[in-house]
Amino acid sequence: MRWIPKDSITVVTGASSGIGRCLCELLLDRGATVVAVARRAERLADLASRECPGKLIPVVGDVTDADVRTEILAAAGRVDNGRLDLLVNNAGIGAIGPFEDADEERLRRIMEVNFFAPAELMRHAIPMLRRGRASVICNISSVLGHRAVPDKSEYCASKFALHGLSDSVRAELARDASDGNSIQLTLVSPSTTRSEFFDSLIGSDAETQSKSIGSWPPAKVARATLSAIESRRSEVILSLAGKALVYADRISPPIVNAILAR
């Protein structure tokens, strides 16, 4: 069974830039209805102005606000009697710098955006996804949700939490398989992506740069994400460097610790 974009009803958070924006464009081009969520209204208006076979429904707001999450699902529910075929939890933020030097606010904000908001959106979307066609929840994590690195402690914690939650909920949803319509949960773990992500770091030194080996443009991450959704994969680690980091860590954490320490 494959997930088919044409005539699907979808929700994508973090739709105003980077991976989320590119994914919305792909879905719209393939005839999906997309409820696109972000705080920057003008960016969503720009997305809505594109010529495409699909339909865009913008919801302007902060995913950490429970009322906004209710509005997102209400907007999707109005399209076809409360049916939803795809939820993409993509909105995310980061920070760089030692844990010791930061404050509680940085930790709480990152956990709210990257973990609690997608968790609650997922919980409330499940009944609607049960009415969908080959439905998928796609949670955008990171290779840093598999292997933690220094100076990104809050971000790693949030993506590890999303990873653990996703594995558990996927197993719960698989219990519905007997009725032939279980929801798949696809965890996508990109490596460094050349988006606006590093321009909007919170509680971080303005001069801070992220060190990484190789990086992908957001359009490539979006194409790989859509492919994982269409084939209803459980989990994908996207880049070769990301796979190398994760699998080396599984084989020998001390070797990876030594490399990262340098």
Ligand X SMILES: NC(=O)c1ccc[n+]([C@@H]2O[C@H](COP(=O)([O-])OP(=O)(O)OC[C@H]3O[C@@H](n4cnc5c(N)ncnc54)[C@H](OP(=O)(O)O)[C@@H]3O)[C@@H](O)[C@H]2O)c1
Nearest to ligand X of 15, 136 (CB atom): 15
Residue 63 engages ligand X in binding (rule: CB under 6 A): yes
Q: Number of helices and strands (H, E) in the chain?
A: 9, 7
Identified catalytic residue from 158, 159, 182, 191: 159
| Cα(10)–Cα(219) distance, integer angstroms | 18
17 binds ligand X (CB under 6 A): yes
Task: Pick the closest to residue 160 from 149, 151, 148, 171 (CA basis).
Answer: 148
58 binds ligand X (CB under 6 A): no
Q: Which two structure tokens, joined as six digits, stand for 60?
A: 């302007």
Stretch that binds ligand X, among 8-16, 47-55, 98-106, 223-231 (CB under 6 A): 8-16
Q: Please confirm, yes or no, whether 141 is among the known catalytic residues.
A: yes
153 is a site residue for ligand X (CB under 6 A): no
List 155, 166, 189, 195, catalytic entry: 155
CA distance 181 to 49: 35
Among 3, 11, 18, 129, binds ligand X (CB under 6 A): 18
- Pick the binder of ligand X from 16, 135, 166, 225 (CB under 6 A): 16
The CA-atom distances, in angstroms, between 240 and each of 191, 214, 228, 259 are: 9, 9, 16, 17
State which residue, 17 or 181, has the beta carbon closest to ligand X: 17
How far is 8 from 39, CA to CA, in rounded Å? 24
- 90 near ligand X, judged by CB under 6 A: yes
Q: Indicate the residue among 181 and 215 with the shorter CB distance to ligand X.
A: 215
What Cα–Cα distance (Å) separates residue 90 from each residue in 15, 110, 176, 181, 254?
Answer: 8, 13, 25, 24, 32
Output the smallest distance, CB 11 to ligand X, in A.
12
- Our answer to whether residue 155 is catalytic in this structure is yes
Are 39 and 61 in contact by the 8 Å Cβ rule? The answer is yes
Sole residue written with tokens 């460097």: 241
Position 193 contacts ligand X (CB under 6 A):
yes
Question: Does 55 participate in catalysis according to the annotation?
Answer: no
Interface ranges with ligand X (CB under 6 A): 13-20, 37-40, 43, 62-64, 90-93, 113, 140, 142, 190, 192-193, 195-197, 200, 218
Active site members: 141, 155, 159
